[in-house]
Structure 1
Amino acid sequence: MIPSQLTRPGSRMDAEMRQQPEVLAALAERWAVLTAQVAALSGGTAPLGVAFLARGSSDHAALLGRYAVELTTGLPTCLVAPSLATAYGKAPTGLRGWLLVALSQSGRTPEIVDLSRRYAAAGAKVIAVTNDGASELAGAAHLSIPLDAGPELAVPATKTVTGQLLAVLAIAAGLAPGYLTQAQAAALPNAVSGVLADTDAPERAARLLAAHNRLAVVGRGACYPAALEGALKLQETTGLMAHGWSTADFRHGPIAVCGPDAPALLLAGSGPADTDTLDVRNALAERRAPILLAGTAPGADLPWPALGHLGECIPATVRAQQLALATARSLGVDPDRPTGLNKVTLTS
């Protein structure tokens, strides 16, 4: 990176985004080991169910994990509501034979660490997904999957998020051998490299978003977690009122927020649920809402390659990161230092 780039707003976020192919490649190289560790955790017996525990961006990775586990195993899954224990005082029960996947980029969020210990005491097997393999969360788990992404200093999480997305797919593959192969995982770094190499598309799209103060980010299936993460990245880097929606839920009322002054960012890959997102363009056009399309369809404003599996959530998420960075710069905001935000939120 040349000296002028080092002082440009968002230079830290940009640098960490560009490390993602390397982080993903290292995880893909460990694929066989990771999936075998997950399979061995339950001693050859499938868990009764899988629960995911997370906050913030990690919660979006947890949602992808829920999709992947339900799709590949048919096991009941859920997203844990931490406040039931921390605020309402409800002790976890009935979890013997379950698997808990706890996600925290820092591994230091007090409620995630505390609940992981409580779930383990209640009989659940705990997998920790964290960037720090020596963190409290890793120590509270039966199995730790460290991302080993290196220090992440920009407030908006980037490389740790996509690392978590790939890690939860590895967990699903460990529970359902053959679901996502090592070769498919190894193809993701190149897909992300191609997305990162295209900076013109997000800069063009950012000019549209910078002219508005609110927008909807919409996706379904593999793209739903990316839509939620994309909305969060736009919120924290730009201050825009961005909200993520499932396409199905979006049709049930929230589409009313879109119009000439409120655009929609649609994320649609090559999966069976993505046709619904493409179809919503007609309803948005009737409302004269500006539309940005990110995905695999011909003519997409923000394209990524068709992969044919839930791993498309990863390049979709990277496209959203690029758009957030470019929009912040267009607005003259430094996304490395969002107002009033800290790198680690110590929720308890």
Structure 2
Amino acid sequence: MNPTRLGRLMEAEMRDQPRVLAALADRFNSIGNAVAALFDSGAPVGVAFLARGSSDNAALLGRYAVELQTGLPTCLVAPSVATVYGREPAGFGGWLLIALSQSGRTPEIVDLTRRYVAAGAKVVAVTNDPDSALARTAHYTVALEAGPERAVPATKTVTGQMLAVLAIASGLGPGGVTQRAAAELPAAAADLLADTEAVDRAAALLATVDRLAVVGRSACYPAALETALKLQETTGVMAHGFSSADFRHGPIAVTGPGTPAVLLAGSGPADTDTLELRAPLTARYAPIVLAGTAIEASIGWPALGHLGECVLATIRGQQLALAVSRELGIDADHPSGLAKVTLTH
């Protein structure tokens, strides 16, 4: 089979991202204003994020944005605390819960959302289905309006969720991504999607290994986790995502001549830490794929100077996953043993 015919759905959905991002950028301020209007006192007591899988990586970006802009207590919910251990979220009155699910049908996400509502939290849902059970439970829903997504690996819904959480954060305090900054992303995404030569070269290397590390920090950390997940589900490679800070605490030991590291480093203040990993990785004879805004990056994206770069880093990760799967002759649209919606409880 012609390798370019493999993963055709995934590629088409990736190429739809500029449209999805543009529509969300147009609604950016209205989303922020609607979130702000949920709280008569002007701000929630704290902010919690509830998600699984790719949605959890988007939630992590949201946590960075909220903490940077507001200083509010912020957390990622562990669903099993309630669903398995039976501990109700009694202390979350006055909080904002941001629940993310592309389908809006994951049972534990819907169940937990109802429990947080009962505990007195205000809930914002981020989903591609505005008629889903999750949307019906929430006080306000950000509908991604991404259209059908048929490939098992989520792409346009993930970057849509990332921009959505930045819009939500904009309603909680000043100093974050603005609508004007968000409007830069669709054109930047289109440029990246048209540029695959360097990605294809990197994929030829990554297709020869069975394990690798994907490393980033701050805005690039959620993208590193998402890139590792995309490589896992499309190719079966043992890819792991790390914060560059955590990577130094031991996991760097997994790298070596046959175990490369993909470094994602944008233009933020935390990205220098990722770039500085090149010396110890070289000392370990580990192959390095550098993606980011540095002039020496083999896979680039433009320096925007804000958390929206996570969207661009994530698109580069999607491209890598698709290209590696094609190198291996794998159809990324239908990875073995995976379903589009994972019904965890």
- TM-score, normalised via structure 2 length: 0.98
1:146 corresponds, among 143, 147, 154, to: 143
Distance (whole Å) between structure 2 residues aligned to residue 278 and residue 180 of structure 1: 24
Report deviation, 1:91: 1.1
Taking the aligned partners of 2:34 and 2:162, their CA distance within structure 1 comes to 18
Contact kept in structure 2, 1:5 and 1:11, CA below 8 Å? no
Deviation at 1:6, TM superposition (A): 11
User: Residues 1-348 of structure 1: matches in 2 within 5 Å?
Assistant: 8-177=5-174, 179-348=176-345
Corresponding residue SS for 1:38: helix
CA contact (8 A) 2:69 2:175 kept: no
Preserved contact between residue 4 and residue 326 of structure 2 (Cα < 8 Å): no
Deviation at 1:301? 1.4
SS of alignment partner, residue 183 of structure 2: helix
Q: Is the 8 A contact 2:126 2:143 kept in 1?
A: yes
Distance 2:226 2:3 in 1: 26
> How big is each residue's C-alpha offset from its partner over 1:280-307, in whole Å with a ceiling of 9 and x where there is no partner?
0000000000000000001211100000
Q: Percent identity?
A: 71
Deviation at 1:180, TM superposition (A): 1.7
Deviation at 1:179, TM superposition (A): 2.3
3-state SS of 2:240 partner: strand
Structure 2 CA distance, aligned partners of 1:240 and 1:217? 12
Equivalent residue letter for 1:187: E
> Contact (CA 8 Å) 2:9, 2:333: kept in 1 or not?
yes
Letter in 1 for 2:75: C
Cα distance between partner residues in 2 of 1:300 and 1:44: 46
Kindly state the Cα deviation for residue 32 of structure 1 after the two structures are TM-superposed: 1.9
Greater shift, 219-228 or 24-33, is seen at 24-33
- How far apart are residue 177 of structure 1 and its match? 3.7
User: How far apart are the structure 2 equivalents of 1:176 and 1:7?
Assistant: 45
Q: Which moved more, 1:326-335 or 1:174-183?
A: 174-183
For the 8 Å contact 1:306–1:312, the answer to whether it is kept is yes
Moved over 3 A (4+): 4-7
Unaligned runs of 5+ in 1: none
Which amino acid is the alignment partner of residue 13 of structure 2?
E
Q: Deviations over 1:59-86 (max 9, x none)?
A: 0000000000000000010000000111
| 1:108 maps to amino acid | R
Q: Quote the Cα distance in structure 2 between the aligned partners of 1:260 and 1:178.
A: 43
Partner of 1:298, secondary structure, is: coil
Answer yes or no: is the 8 Å Cα contact 2:65–2:176 preserved in 1.
no
Give 3-state SS (helix, strand or coil) of 2:334's partner.
Answer: coil
SS of the equivalent of 1:310 reads coil
